[in-house]
Amino acid sequence: MAESQSILPRIIYVFSGKRKSGKDFVTMLLQKRFGSRSIILRLSGPLKEQYAKQHNLDYNRLLDATEYKEQHRAAMIKWGEEMRKKDKGYFCRLAIREAENHHDVWIISDARRKSDIEYFKKEYPKQMVTVRVEADLEIRIRRGLVPTKGIDDAPSECGLDKYSPWDVMIRNNGGQEQLHLEKQLEILAFMAERTEKDDGDDKAR
């Protein structure tokens, strides 16, 4: 059962993918299909906010894809791991507080560990849909990825590499795969429509 009875999402898309795989791009496209009834929730947002408060840093600059964030990324990851050891659902609970009652579609844009998946599976088992976004390494490098030891081989990047099964897999290399992306987004949108129909049928019985 969900921890907050006032927040009752109809469907929750939990996205995962490596750096520069295009998770933000894909989740924004999905949100456009639902409009104001949906919200993108980032688990990294509360992490960065709490880290900035404790270390007297500029929270807004930590949100941008800038050198400032990269300077603090490794230390921030280590701090986040320590917090998760104390409470696995800590950042998940903070993130969903941003959702309001009129947001019946939640899009979690950045699940990184099995504990993230486990939290939503436990609290919202009927609503959760897991989505993996993948892109070839050379494409990710072309998008600006600088492979970094201690970051790209850390649990924050590799924690879900062997997770299975994903409900939906999306290849996001661009180019000829754009049609595949559009079809996968249609499938995700249809899942929400099917949920609405099932709810309506239940109420009619």
- Residue numbers belonging to the annotated binding site for ATP: 18-24, 143, 184
Give a yes or no: residue 149 inside a domain: yes
Give a yes or no: residue 6 inside a domain: no
> What pLDDT does 5 receive?
42
- Residue numbers belonging to the annotated binding site for substrate: 172
User: Counting Cβ atoms within 10 Å, is residue 11 exposed (0-12), middle (13-18) or buried (19+)?
Assistant: buried
> What pLDDT does 73 receive?
84
> One digit per residue, pLDDT tens: the chain, 205 residues?
444 445 579 999 999 999 999 999 999 999 999 999 999 999 988 888 889 999 999 888 887 767 888 888 889 988 988 888 899 898 999 899 888 888 999 999 999 999 999 999 999 999 999 999 999 999 999 999 999 998 899 888 999 999 999 999 999 998 888 889 999 999 999 999 877 656 655 554 4
Give a yes or no: residue 148 inside a domain: yes
Give a yes or no: residue 164 inside a domain: yes
Give a yes or no: residue 5 inside a domain: no
CB-based contacts of 66, cutoff 8 Å, min separation 6: none
Give a yes or no: residue 200 inside a domain: no
> What pLDDT does 65 receive?
65
Give a yes or no: residue 57 inside a domain: yes
Tokens of 189: 């949108």
What's the count of helices (H) and strands (E) in the chain, helices before strands?
Answer: 9, 5
- Residue numbers belonging to the annotated binding site: 18-24, 143, 172, 184
> What pLDDT does 7 receive?
55
List the CATH number of the domain containing 151: 3.40.50.300
Give a yes or no: residue 204 inside a domain: no
Q: How many domains does the chain have?
A: 1
Q: What range does the domain containing 135 cover?
A: 11-195
